[in-house]
């Protein structure tokens, strides 16, 4: 399944029942008719079948197979033929006769047959063999009354054509289809459930050559096809309906919502369960891809300015839909607000994990505020007057856990502590444990640096080993080709100048007040070098996966994959204060992503 397939499923799930989502030729399909694609227990709707048959007709290679011309009829016409077979030719007889006349230009006529509200199967009028071929996924060969009525109706119209003076030339051996032999093409059922017969029938129409199926069909194939069918119909090039995944402006727009009815909660629960049944079969990466594809498709100006992600602890950061869209534009660099918010999420996740496991916080994250306040790059004569208190705030502890950087000391304990447990090298954290022994713990500070051209570098300071690690994913500036290490000297001097000033307020007497420029400096050589626009996303990845002084990089297909993963980090932030601003369909989708992750 593609990203657009998932986007189409969300569109169906969150549209109004009366919304026309598919319009191909004279076939209109509403949300309520397409909803059968969301529930594996539902039968395929006639309108959905007709719409897909239209799609097949537009594929030239399916109109003629092995130099044999195929005609694909839709369910509405087959119903009229069946009616005419039971009750005689009706008032619309001339119109139906014209349709049947067109059959004579083809060698294979494929007619969908429906046992009312029970079962779909396919009948093929094979004029070369003068036989009626039946493809039935359940092999119900004892119930062919509907086929008999349909053939009788077809025969009535062929008789009318035979009596006309202007009979067109054709290759049919005879027109007495009512006397042709009926042959069952399948000997064993291939359908394993009680609801996918319509989907099997569509695949029969696609794959039948006149003698056999060109591709094998399994129940697993059909289960996948049910969900792909949504994307095929909504994204079909001839779909002229205005609400498609490419231009839909909002999932579950709340502007025109009516007063809730008593049955709404039950309906919403049913919808959510149907969506879950689909998404439970989809990988986390595919889910994220579908959601990102939807976000890229939003073009409503009002929606683009809506805030979808916000967090105010320790200070407010808000991200609009427009800013989220820019994450997915490969020619744009990282936005500092986006990076700062995802850093906040990393720290939040680490704090939550520490609380659950009563473990240690091994990393203390700074965001880009620290570097911005240093006013790096500006001549000292023109820098703003340094506000040390403001600088100190950028290195303070994060909310959500009762630890204090102001107590930073290198302490090792080898005995039980009744109330306080020392974690990291220098963090005091209140826990409910009666006793906890921590030895040789390490505290590291991760400092992201944003440069004037919106590229990013990561500095990691290890207090225990007095080591500075430099992770630089940006291409080498030709200016430094003879001495690549020189590009970090001024930055490290800046950190060495300003970090002690902040720590003298927050953490007096600790190693953080030392001159870190004198510490051991290690420039990691195995850091991936990408284009400048991707550097911020790589830095966020480095911050997330850095562990035990190692960079264990996951396998990523490309830079866009990294951007999608970054988007998922933001949208799944549990402390998002604007979650209610998200459309209902997006919230449902995120719940499924969270469920997949857990």
Residues 6+ apart with CB under 8 A from 345: 569, 570, 573, 575
pLDDT of residue 180: 96
97 in a domain, yes or no?
Answer: yes
- Strands 467-471 and 520-523 turn out to be parallel
DSSP structure class, residue 229: H
What is the residue-wise DSSP string for 539-556?
HHHHHHHEETTEE-PPP-
- Domain termination residue (choose one: 211, 234, 257): 234
Q: 230 and 358: one domain?
A: no
pLDDT tens digits along 152-186:
999 999 999 988 877 888 889 899 999 999 999 99
The pLDDT score that the predictor gives to residue 598 is 64
554/504 Cα distance (integer angstroms): 38
> What domain range includes position 441?
350-556
375: cis peptide before it, omega within 30°?
A: no
Query: What does the pLDDT average to over 258-277?
Result: 49
Residue 565's pLDDT band, with cuts at 50, 70 and 90, is very high
Q: Answer yes or no: is 293 within a domain.
A: no
301-346 pLDDT per residue, tens: 999 999 999 999 889 999 999 999 999 999 999 999 999 999 999 9
- Across the chain, mean pLDDT equals 82
- pLDDT, mean of residues 82-107: 88
CATH number at residue 124: 3.40.395.10
Question: Stretch 563-587: mean pLDDT, rounded?
Answer: 91
Which of 185, 208, 234 is at the close of a domain?
Answer: 234
**First-residue to last-residue Cα distance in the chain:** 22
Give how far Cα 359 sits from Cα of 70, 194, 436, 574, 597, Å: 68, 51, 10, 21, 21
Lowest mean pLDDT among 133-147, 376-390, 456-470: 376-390
Do 219 and 74 have their domain in common?
yes
pLDDT score of 463:
87
The answer to whether residue 92 is domain-embedded is: yes
Position 10 in a domain: no
Instruction: Provide the greatest CA pair distance for the chain.
Output: 109
pLDDT of residue 401: 52
pLDDT surpassing 60 at residue 427? no
245 confidence band (pLDDT: 50, 70, 90):
very low
10 vs 388, higher pLDDT: 388
> What's the number of domains the chain is made of?
2
| Residue-level pLDDT at 251 | 41
pLDDT at 410: 32
Task: Name the least confident of 71-80, 257-266, 459-468, 528-537.
Answer: 257-266
Q: Give the other-Cβ count within 10 Å of 515's Cβ.
A: 11
Statement to judge: residues 228 and 371 lie in one domain = no
CA distance 223 to 199: 9
Query: How far is residue 125's CA from residue 204's CA, in Å, rounded to a whole number?
Result: 14
Helices (H), 310-443: 321-327, 336-357, 368-373, 388-393
For the record, the structure tokens of 337 come out as 């607000």
Cα–Cα dist 188/136, whole Å: 9
Least confident of 15-19, 245-249, 460-464: 245-249
Residue 429: band (very low, low, confident or very high) from pLDDT cuts 50, 70, 90:
very low
504 pLDDT above the threshold of 80:
yes
Query: Is the four-CA dihedral 529, 530, 535, 541 of positive or negative sign?
Result: negative
Report residue 419's pLDDT band, with 50, 70 and 90 as the boundaries.
Answer: very low
Please indicate, yes or no, if residue 393 is contained in any of the structural domains.
yes
pLDDT digits (tens, 9 = 90+) for 27-79: 999 999 999 998 889 999 999 999 999 999 888 788 888 889 999 999 999 99
181-184 and 307-311 strand pairing: unpaired
Same domain, 222 and 357: no
Whether residue 277 has pLDDT greater than 60: no
What pLDDT was estimated at residue 159? 92
Report the candidate in 289, 343, 348 with the shortest Cα–Cα distance to residue 593.
289
Q: Which of 159-163, 489-493, 546-550 has the highest mean pLDDT?
A: 489-493
- Domain assignment present for residue 263? The answer is no
Residues 69 and 124 sit within 8 Å (Cβ to Cβ):
no
Task: State what percent of residues in the chain have pLDDT above 90.
Answer: 48
pTM, to two decimals: 0.57
CB distance 354 to 423 below 8 Å: yes
pLDDT digits (tens, 9 = 90+) for 173-222: 899 999 999 999 999 999 999 999 999 999 999 999 999 999 999 999 99
Which among 237, 207, 89 has a CA at the least distance from the CA of 137?
207
Q: 560 or 530: which carries more pLDDT confidence?
A: 560
Q: Give per-residue pLDDT as tens, 133-156.
A: 999 999 988 779 999 999 999 999
Predicted local distance difference test score (pLDDT) of residue 370: 93
Q: Are 448 and 543 in contact (CB under 8 A)?
A: yes
Give the pLDDT of residue 12: 85
**Closest among 193, 187, 179, 243 to 40, alpha carbons compared:** 193
Which pLDDT score, from 0 to 100, does residue 253 have?
Answer: 41
pLDDT of residue 279: 57
In a domain, 414, yes or no: yes
Residue 281: predicted pLDDT:
61
258: confidence class by pLDDT, cuts 50, 70, 90: very low
**Residue where a domain terminates, one of 234, 253, 283:** 234
In this predicted structure, the answer to whether residue 17 has a pLDDT above a threshold of 80 is yes
What integer pLDDT is reported at residue 134 of this predicted model?
97
Under 8 Å between Cβ of 201 and 120: yes
CB-based contacts of 509: which residues, under 8 Å, 6+ apart? 409
Angle at 92 between CA 90 and CA 98, to 5 degrees: 120
């Amino acid at each position: 399944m593609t990203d657009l397939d998932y986007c189409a499923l969300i569109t169906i799930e969150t549209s109004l029942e009366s919304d026309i989502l598919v319009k191909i030729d004279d076939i209109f399909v509403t949300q309520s008719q397409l909803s059968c694609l969301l529930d594996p227990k539902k039968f395929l709707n006639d309108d959905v079948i007709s719409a897909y048959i239209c799609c097949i007709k537009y594929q030239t290679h399916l109109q003629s197979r092995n130099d044999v011309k195929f005609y694909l009829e839709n369910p509405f016409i087959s119903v009229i033929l069946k009616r005419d077979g039971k009750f005689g030719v009706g008032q619309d007889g001339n119109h139906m006769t014209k349709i049947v006349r067109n059959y004579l230009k083809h060698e294979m006529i494929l007619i969908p047959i429906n046992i009312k509200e029970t079962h779909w199967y396919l009948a093929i009028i094979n004029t070369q063999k003068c036989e009626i071929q039946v493809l039935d996924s359940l092999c119900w060969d004892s119930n062919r009354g509907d086929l008999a009525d349909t053939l009788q109706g077809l025969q009535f119209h062929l008789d009318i054509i035979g009596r006309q003076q202007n009979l067109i030339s054709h290759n049919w051996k005879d027109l007495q289809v009512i006397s042709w032999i009926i042959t069952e093409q399948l000997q064993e059922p291939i359908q394993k459930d009680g609801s996918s017969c319509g989907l099997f029938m569509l695949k029969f129409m696609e794959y039948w050559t006149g003698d056999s199926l060109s591709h094998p069909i399994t129940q697993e194939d059909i289960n996948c096809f049910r969900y792909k069918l949504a994307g095929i119909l909504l994204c079909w090039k001839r779909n002229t309906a205005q609400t498609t995944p490419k231009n839909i402006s909002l999932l579950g727009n709340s502007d025109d919502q009516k007063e809730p009815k008593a049955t709404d909660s039950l309906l919403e629960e049913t919808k959510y369960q149907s969506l879950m049944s689909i998404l439970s079969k989809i990988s986390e990466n595919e889910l994220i891809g579908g959601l990102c594809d939807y976000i890229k498709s939003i073009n409503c100006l009002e929606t683009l300015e809506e805030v979808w992600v916000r967090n105010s602890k320790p200070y407010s950061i808000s991200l609009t839909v427009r800013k989220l869209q820019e994450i997915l534009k490969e020619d744009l660099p990282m936005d500092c607000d986006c990076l700062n918010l995802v850093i906040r999420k990393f720290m939040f996740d680490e704090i939550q994990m520490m609380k659950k496991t009563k473990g240690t916080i091994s990393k203390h994250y700074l965001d880009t505020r620290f570097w911005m306040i240093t006013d790096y790059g500006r001549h000292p004569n023109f820098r703003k007057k340094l506000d040390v208190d403001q600088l100190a705030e950028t290195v303070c502890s994060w909310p959500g856990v009762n630890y204090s950087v102001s107590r930073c000391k290198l302490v090792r304990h080898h005995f039980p502590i009744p109330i306080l447990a020392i974690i990291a090298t220098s963090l005091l954290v209140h826990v409910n444990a009666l006793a906890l022994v921590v030895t040789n713990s390490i505290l590291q500070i991760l400092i992201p640096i944003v440069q004037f051209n919106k590229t990013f570098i990561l500095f990691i300071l290890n207090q225990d080993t007095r080591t500075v690690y430099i992770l630089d994913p940006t291409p080498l500036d030709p200016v430094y080709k003879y001495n690549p290490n020189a590009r970090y000297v001024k930055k490290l001097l800046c950190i060495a100048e300003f970090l002690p000033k902040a720590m003298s307020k927050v953490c007096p007497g600790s190693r953080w007040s030392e001159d870190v420029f004198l510490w051991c400096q290690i420039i990691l050589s195995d850091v991936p070098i990408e284009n400048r626009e991707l550097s911020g996303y790589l830095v966020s990845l480095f911050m997330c996966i850095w562990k035990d002084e190692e960079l264990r990089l996951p396998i990523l297909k490309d830079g866009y994959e990294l951007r999608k993963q970054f988007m998922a980090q933001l949208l799944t932030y549990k402390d998002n204060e604007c979650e209610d601003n998200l459309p209902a369909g997006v919230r449902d989708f995120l719940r499924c992503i969270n469920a997949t992750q857990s």
